[in-house]
Structure 1
Amino acid sequence: MFCRNQTARATVARGSALEMEIRRGKFRKSVFLDTSQDSDIQKKIDHEIRMRDGACKLLAACSQRDQALEAAKSLQTCSTRIMAYMSELQRMKEAQVMQKVTRRSSDAGPMDDRLPCKGKVAISDLRIPLMWKDTEYFKNKGELHRCAVFCLLQLGGEIFDTDMVIVDRTLTDICFDNTIVFNEASPGFELRVELYSCCSEDDYSAGSTPRKLASKLSSSLGRSAGKKLRAAMEPGPCSPVSNGGAAPLLLPVPSVAGPKYHLLAHTTVSLSHVQDSFRTHDLTISGNEECSYWLPLYGSMCCRLAAQPHCMTQQMMSGCLKVKQCGGDLQSWSNVYAVLKGTSLFCYHRQEDVEANIEPAFTIGINKETRIRASEKDPHSKVQNICISNQYGGEEVTHTLTTDSREDTHRWMEAFWQHFYDMSQWKQCCDDLMKIELPSPRKPAPVTPKQGSLYHEMAPLAAPSCEGLLLQDNAVSAEIRALLSSYYNDR
């Protein structure tokens, strides 16, 4: 009984501390607010922390400029993702707390729980024009200023990065060929595009050859294979300090020698900017000509921003109906299998025709101009009919639908109202289905001895000829190579 009371008091204490931690922006797991979504986001945070730790180690050990630039890019991307996931976790837990408070409130009125559907948002053909001086571009005079640049794109909790591009005065535009698709966007989305730049002319070599890196690792690992493995898997200087089963306490990223990316420009696009064509957007520029990472931006960004709401691409409702066109014989009802999708109600002879991709028998337009109402109850079946009216060439055409039961009629009416609500929220994205070119999966680079990555530089260290190195232990070297390999694969 004593232990049970102690547990209850501890639980209450944790609950009260949780609300304060949410307000202070701290992130710890809670027995009250632990959901599957929280767990998924926490796993993402833990994963990015491990990747950040690996990026720090790689950056400190890089011996080539290209390696250092890529490692610094990974470090910047991981840090941004961690902050985004933390903000998303805080938002979710605050919403859960407010939901509990609202549920307990006795005077809480009825709440409209209708939400718009999600959708895909894709950005492609990203171009950022440059404005070089005449003497630099045409006459090729002055110091050749070269920078490494890439973009981070964030929509909610999703963050993607583009490839890194080396820019100098021989280029008139910074071009990114990536097509980036966000799969869980809401109509109120805000897509932030950030351009990062780093001067690539300095020598970022840390003077660490693979042999020196092996010496560093060997000095930090224990003698036995078990200690070596545990030390290799323990969090490094960039990792959080673990506290039992609690969520990690994030520590600041330590200063690592090597290149550092700086925010050069940014902009935010939203639903109003979606257009099925190439369009220009204004950039907010940071820094000035005195900065080493500076590039003469024109002040704009060109891209194609497209969106596909789920109501335009997925079946929002389907089922058997009887359809009659107004003006025809009262007995000429057609039995169809109807599918509500996009701007049409597709009517098939049989359900099997949908799966076989057979053309529908006919379609009924469902768009922003369509009027739908429930007619009087049929005196024989006691079921309300659904009337759908559209304007075709100045003439109104009405289709009458009927179902087998009152419950089916209610479900169809609710589906239509939800569909109209989705269209009203996604606006121009529901006029026509916009095309999104899905990016092709990246092909893995062929494994060659001179690929330029730290992982491939370290691979020969496991050879028996590397006498005197602690990494010649096959078990430990295999674990270290696997750790580095997983980092490159996850990228």
Structure 2
Amino acid sequence: MREGASKLLAACSQREQALEAAKSLLTCNARILALLSQLQRMRKTQTLQRMGSSDVDERLPCTGKLAISDLRIPLMWKDSKYFKNKGGKSNLNQCAVFCLLHCGNQIYDTNLVMVDRTLTDVCFEDSILFHEVDPGFQLQVELYSSSVEDDLLTGSLGPRRLSRLGGSLGRTSGKKIRAALESAASCGNKGDPAEGSSSPPPLLPHPVGPKYQLLAHTTLSIAHVKDSFKTHDLSLAATVWLPLYGNMCCRLVAQPLCTVQQVISGELKLKFTDDTDSWENIYGVLKGTSLFCYQSEEDSGSEKPPMLKITINKDTIVCVSDKEPLQFQVLYISTQCRGEDLSYTLAFHAPEDTQRWMEVLWQHFYNISQWRHCCDNVMKIEEPANRKALKVKQVTPSSAEEGLVIQDLSTEICALLSTYYNERTEDE
């Protein structure tokens, strides 16, 4: 992906293509660094496990989904300089802006937004969803910008690459396109022409083209999660192209798996009164902050409401006792519901069921304690719509890399890359 974006960036003749290719290249570099960091952490964990170190946590909280949407960054233009619109549209000083979002080894970028002095807010309509996020997540939001210029063909292209590119764009019009690119390349080629004709120039880490600069950044954690629109502070870079206020607004929501998935279920006995003979067979389902009690397993799978709902939260106390005159252990649950103290007594049909439920309950309490207020109510998360960049399925740079999926390039760039590499394979 990185090699393809670099080659296309050096050959772009359209402003939009060059901006998208440069953005894709920056995103690819960030993903490579994130994957290398993840690999290093995995190796460290494996080493500690082999050494029997106690630093490795045995109990881990459940993961969940994290979604950020409605991202807005207000601008602070000076009235005398920007809103009089003197000089016409050509002097609006446009720049391309996008956000890069890091959460662990998951990195996504927003769509490009063209910004000029007529805008008072930079609005990103993207809804970005992160999967398998732990409660200790650190979501980094970085704002990048690049100045928009008409002439982006300032690099150099070797004749061999130009011939392949011209062929991939069509046999008939290839000569005209190749001649135009050769002319543009010769203007920016400062090396020896004789040397340039022998082989293509090496792939540079930062090819010629649009350069994105970091304008501002911030880090969001579980403390910033709220099921509503909220403002967060931004740390501004040393040189800022845009007049930023120093904050951003977004909706950051989290959905732990323990709140939306069934944790455990099974047959139980519930005692309603102090009378030891007053037991009733029920079917219990633990999900979120409630233990739902149904008359049968069939009722739990239907739309029938539960006969009883026991609140399970961080303040709930659970203990096991065998003092009851029964042949099995019982489970005492003390909890609060709407300010009222409530107690329940549950029993299991087999000792292994008691152990299984207790282990699941302790893990559930641990999940709730780590996810904190995210477990109070189930926050709604909508699956983001498929972005335009995801429509092209595969690009095959070489026969050894078949099946490579490019997911962060625009449709137009992916199509150009696919055609380019297919024609190169035919020529060879």
TM-score (norm 1): 0.69
State the match for 1:312 in structure 2.
259
Displacement of 1:116 in angstroms is: 1.1
Contact 2:311 2:336 in 1 (8 A): no
CA distance in 2, matches of 1:62, 1:186: 40
1:371 paired to 2:317: yes
> Does structure 2 retain, via aligned residues, the 8 Å contact 1:154–1:160?
yes
For the pair 1:86 / 2:36, whether they are aligned, the reply is yes
419, 422, 428: which one aligns with 2:367: 422
2:353 to 408, 414, 418: 408
Corresponding residue of 2:215: 264
Residues 63, 207 of structure 1: 8 Å contact kept: no
Rate the CA distance shift 1:388–1:76 in 2: closer, same or farther, 3 A.
same
CA apart distance, 1:184? 1.2
Distance 1:110 1:171 in 2: 51
Counterpart in the other structure of 1:280: 231
| Structure 1 position 255 matched with structure 2 position 170 | no
CA distance in 2, matches of 1:168, 1:349: 64
Which residue of 2 is the match for residue 135 of structure 1?
80
Of 129, 153, 178 in structure 2, the residue corresponding to residue 205 of structure 1 is: 153
Q: 2:98 aligns with which of 139, 150, 155?
A: 150
* Change in CA separation of 1:180 and 1:255 when aligned onto 2, cut-off 3 Å: closer
Instruction: Give the deviation of 1:364 after TM superposition.
Output: 1.0
Look up the match of 1:321: 268
User: Hey, what's the Cα distance between the residues in 2 that align with 1:138 and 1:217?
Assistant: 44
Which residue number corresponds to residue 350 of structure 1? 296
Q: Is 1:57 aligned to 2:7, yes or no?
A: yes
SS at match of 2:322: strand
* Shift, 1:379, TM fit: 3.2
CA distance in 2, matches of 1:200, 1:315: 51
CA pair 131-101 structure 1, distance change in 2 beyond 3 A: same
Cα shift readout 1:213-257 (whole Å, capped 9, x = no counterpart): 6515589xxxxxxxxxxxxxxxxxxxxxxxxxxxxxxx9952311
Q: Distance in 1 between matches of 2:148 and 2:260?
A: 44
Q: 1:135, CA displacement in angstroms? A: 1.8
CA distance in 2: counterparts of 1:177 and 1:75, whole angstroms:
22
Following superposition of structure 1 onto structure 2, how do residues 162-181 of structure 1 map, counting pairs within 5 Å?
162-181=110-129
Cα distance between partner residues in 1 of 2:255 and 2:55: 32
Asked if structure 2 preserves the Cα contact closer than 8 Å seen for 1:276 and 1:304, the reply is yes
Aligned position for 2:242? 295
Q: Tell me what 1:36 maps to.
A: none
**For the Cα contact (< 8 Å) 1:56–1:75, is it kept in 2?**
yes
Moved over 6 A (4+): 108-111, 444-447
Out of 320, 326, 331, the position equivalent to 2:277 is 331
* Aligned counterpart in structure 1 of residue 47 of structure 2, from 93, 97, 101: 97
CA distance in 1, matches of 2:391, 2:38: 37
- AA of the residue aligned to 2:218: T
Counterparts of 1:148 and 1:191, CA distance in 2: 23
> How high is the TM-score relative to the length of structure 2?
0.79
1:335 Cα deviation (Å)?
1.5
Given residue 135 of structure 1, which amino acid in structure 2 is its aligned partner? S
With over 3 angstroms needed to count, the CA separation of the structure-2 counterparts of 1:393 and 1:458, relative to structure 1, is: closer
CA contact (8 A) 1:123 1:305 kept: yes
Change (3 A) 1:310 1:476: closer
Shift of 1:354: 3.2
Query: How far apart in 2 are the matches of 1:458 and 1:409?
Result: 60
Aligned residues with identical type, % of pairs: 55
1:77 to partner: Cα distance:
0.4
1:479/1:390 CA distance change after superposition, 3 Å = same
SS class of match (1:316):
strand
Q: Which residue of 2 aligns with 1:464?
A: none
For residue 265 of structure 1, give the secondary structure of its aligned residue in structure 2: strand
Q: SS where residue 33 of structure 2 aligns?
A: helix
> Structure 1 350/214 Cα, relative in aligned 2: closer, same or farther at 3 Å?
farther
Q: Contact between 2:70 and 2:124, CA under 8 Å: does it hold in 1?
A: yes
Maintained 8 Å contact 2:227/2:251: yes
Correspondent of 1:187 among 135, 142, 147: 135
TM-aligned CA distance change 1:100 to 1:455, over 3 Å: closer
**C-alpha displacement at 1:455, in angstroms?**
6.1
Give 3-state SS (helix, strand or coil) of 2:383's partner.
coil
Query: What is the aligned partner in structure 1 of residue 175 from structure 2?
Result: none
Query: Is contact 1:151-1:196 (8 Å) kept?
Result: yes
> What's the Cα RMSD here?
3.2
- CA separation of 1:357/1:203 partners in 2, compared to 1, >3 Å: closer, same or farther? farther
Where 2:309 maps in the other structure, the secondary structure is strand
Match of 1:387 among 323, 332, 338: 332
Unpaired runs of at least 5, structure 1: 1-50, 103-107, 220-250, 462-470, 482-491
Evaluate the alpha carbon distance shift between residue 165 and residue 110 of structure 1 in structure 2; reply closer, same or farther with a 3 A threshold: closer
Does the C-alpha gap of structure 1 residues 456 and 124 become closer, same or farther in structure 2, counting only changes over 3 Å? closer
Q: Distance in 2 between matches of 1:124 and 1:110?
A: 36
Distance 1:198 1:387, change over 3 A: same
Q: 1:480 to 1:322 in 2, by over 3 A?
A: farther
Q: 1:84 to 1:452 in 2, by over 3 A?
A: closer
Evaluate the alpha carbon distance shift between residue 171 and residue 373 of structure 1 in structure 2; reply closer, same or farther with a 3 A threshold.
same
User: How far, CA to CA, are the matches of 2:272 and 2:221 in structure 1?
Assistant: 41
